Amino acid sequence: MWHDAVVAEKEERDDAELVRRILAGEGAHFETLVARYQTRLYRFISRFTRDAEDARDVAQEVFLKVYGALDGYDPRYRFSTWLFRIAGNAAIDHLRRRRGRTVPLETPPDEDGETRGIDPRDGRPDPLEDLSRRRLRQAIDAAIARLPDDYRELISLRHYGELPYEEIAELKGMPLGTVKNKLFRARQALRDLLPPGIV
Amino acid sequence: MESEEHMIETGAAAAEIELERKLELLLDEMVASSPAAPPDFAARAATRRPFAAWEVRLASAWKVPALAGAGLLSASAAVFVAPLGQLAPQAALTVWGNLVTAALSSSASAAFSAAPALAAAGEVLRGSVTPALGLLVLGSGAIFGAATFASLRRRTARAPH
């Protein structure tokens, strides 16, 4: 815990320094900034888009938007909070744009192009033995996709964006206790949506 | 784990805490092995970064365009002045100066000189437009307008917040 806090503080200092140098004209540091957050941001956005190509496009849009607005970043706050706030808005916008289309209750195609439907209540006797690792991931992905938007956002920020509770509270403008409570309820809802026996 | 502390604070049952812990571990495990951004993602994003509004205020951002402009101007001076310079350097510089001025101002003067011709063309059209031709022009205008609007809207919709 202490080590995590120290690392987070160092990253925060480094981010502010990188932003300062980019704003001073050393644009090449932007790539370093992107590389630092690309995995977490991509995984976070993937929870919303459920499509690798869309996730890549939205993530790129977010970074380009961040670059364009970099002079508006207030270094008193964490860079990651600002970044994930922009990403959250972009992801929600993407969902709104896509809402016209029907989203099937099945996981995205595998590498072989095959899709597999998920029945959250198929009642297998021992799902851990039956479900391969990939199917387990698909079940979790499908369950997260079925969560209400606010729960999905919190789960995504916490687990896929790897943000600490304090940062989520800052980002969402909620008291810390409310964030913890909501995340607890979100995980409960997630458990209810998973096939029995997984957790 | 922070969530466990929270549950203990809220008096959740031991079984519930265990389920919560298992789900957190499962999620962390799944996230750790879930697909990441493509390896060239950062380089591509860096390549595609726009010329941001804040960069306009940076003197260093103007270095390349200023150098390119100065280079072009010097090259053109060299090309025009060198051969003429053998005759009379002063005359060569005057010719080059006039050429540069004409090149830079020709588009503005062309538009200025075209204004009376455009006005005359408008007068002629006004006198000879038939209802069918009018409808055709209006229809084409509407289609062009709709296409432009759709393209602008698509671009705006794709812009991130």
Q: What is the pLDDT along chain A (199 residues), one digit of tens a residue?
A: 455 555 666 677 789 999 999 999 888 899 999 999 999 999 999 988 888 999 999 999 999 999 999 999 998 889 999 999 999 999 989 988 887 555 444 444 443 334 444 444 444 555 555 556 778 888 888 999 899 989 999 999 999 999 999 999 999 999 999 999 999 999 999 999 998 877 7
| B74 in a structural domain | no
Angle of CA points B104, B106, B107, to nearest 5°: 95
Q: What is the pLDDT of residue B154?
A: 52
Tell me if A165 and B20 make a contact (CB, 8 A cut-off). no
| B68 in a structural domain | no
Of residues B112 and B66, which shows the higher confidence score?
Answer: B66
- Residue B80 burial by Cβ neighbours in a 10 Å radius (0-12, 13-18, 19+): middle
Give the pair of three-digit tokens for residue B103: 């090149």
Q: What's the complex ipTM? A: 0.72
Q: Which residues pair with A117 in a beta bridge?
A: A106
How far B136 CA sits from the closest chain A CA (Å)? 35
Q: What is the pLDDT of residue A116?
A: 40
- Could you tell me if A127 and A89 lie in one domain? no
Q: Picking from A89-98, B57-66, B70-79, B121-130, which range would have the lowest pLDDT averaged per residue?
A: B121-130
Question: Chain A residues with CB inside 8 Å of B48's CB?
Answer: 60, 64
- Please say whether the beta carbons of A126 and A197 come within 8 A: yes
| B69 in a structural domain | no
| B72 in a structural domain | no
Q: How confident is the model at residue B65 (pLDDT cuts 50, 70, 90)?
A: confident
Long-range interactions of B27-30: CB distance < 8 A, separation 24+: B27/A140, B27/A155, B27/A159, B28/A159, B30/A136, B30/A137, B30/A140
Per the structure, the count of domains in chain B is 2
| B101 in a structural domain | yes
Q: If contacts are CB pairs under 8 Å, which of residues 107-136 in chain A contact chain B?
A: 133, 136
- Could you tell me if A92 and A131 lie in one domain? no
How many contacts does A have with B, using Cβ atoms within 8 A?
A: 127
How far B145 CA sits from the closest chain A CA (Å)? 23
Nearest to B19 among A34, A137, A199 (CB): A199
How far A107 CA sits from the closest chain B CA (Å)? 14
Of residues B24 and A4, which shows the higher confidence score?
Answer: B24
Q: How confident is the model at residue B114 (pLDDT cuts 50, 70, 90)?
A: confident
Q: What is the pLDDT of residue A186?
A: 94
Q: What is the Cα–Cα distance from A87 to A54, expressed in whole angstroms?
A: 13
| B113 in a structural domain | yes
Task: For residue A68, give the chain B residue with the closest CA.
Answer: B52
- Could you tell me if A33 and A83 lie in one domain? yes
Q: If contacts are CB pairs under 8 Å, which of residues 19-78 in chain A contact chain B?
A: 23-25, 27-28, 30-32, 34-35, 38-39, 41-43, 46, 52, 56, 58-65, 67-71
Q: What is the Cα–Cα distance from A131 to B31, expressed in whole angstroms?
A: 17
How much is the average pLDDT of B13-20?
Answer: 83
Q: What percent of chain B has pLDDT over 70?
A: 80
Please check the confidence at residue B84 and state whether its pLDDT lies above 90. no
Q: What is the pLDDT of residue A133?
A: 75
Q: What percent of chain B has pLDDT over 90?
A: 11
- Could you tell me if A139 and A81 lie in one domain? no
Q: What is the Cα–Cα distance from A69 to A160, expressed in whole angstroms?
A: 24
Q: What is the Cα–Cα distance from A11 to A33, expressed in whole angstroms?
A: 11
How much is the average pLDDT of B85-90?
Answer: 71
The values of phi and psi at residue A117, to 5°, are -70, 150
Q: Is A25 left (phi over 0), alpha (psi -120 to 50) or beta?
A: left
| B105 in a structural domain | yes
Residues ≥6 apart with Cβ < 8 Å to B16: B7
| A113 in a structural domain | no
- Residue in the block written with tokens 């062009």: B144
Q: What is the Cα–Cα distance from A99 to A88, expressed in whole angstroms?
A: 16
Q: What is the Cα–Cα distance from A83 to A58, expressed in whole angstroms?
A: 13
Would you give the DSSP letter of residue B97? H
Task: For residue B1, give the chain A residue with the closest CA.
Answer: A1
For residue A154, the enclosing domain spans 122-199
Tell me if A65 and B45 make a contact (CB, 8 A cut-off). no
Per the structure, the count of domains in chain A is 2
Strand, coil or helix: A147: coil
Q: What is the Cα–Cα distance from B122 to B116, expressed in whole angstroms?
A: 10
Q: What is the Cα–Cα distance from A31 to A140, expressed in whole angstroms?
A: 32
Nearest to A68 among B12, B45, B53 (CB): B53
Please check the confidence at residue B59 and state whether its pLDDT lies above 80. yes
Tell me if B41 and A137 make a contact (CB, 8 A cut-off). no
Please check the confidence at residue B95 and state whether its pLDDT lies above 80. no
| A165 in a structural domain | yes
- Could you tell me if A60 and A93 lie in one domain? yes
| B23 in a structural domain | yes
| A115 in a structural domain | no
For residue B94, the enclosing domain spans 89-143
Mean pLDDT of the residues in chain B: 78
- Please say whether the beta carbons of A59 and A45 come within 8 A: yes
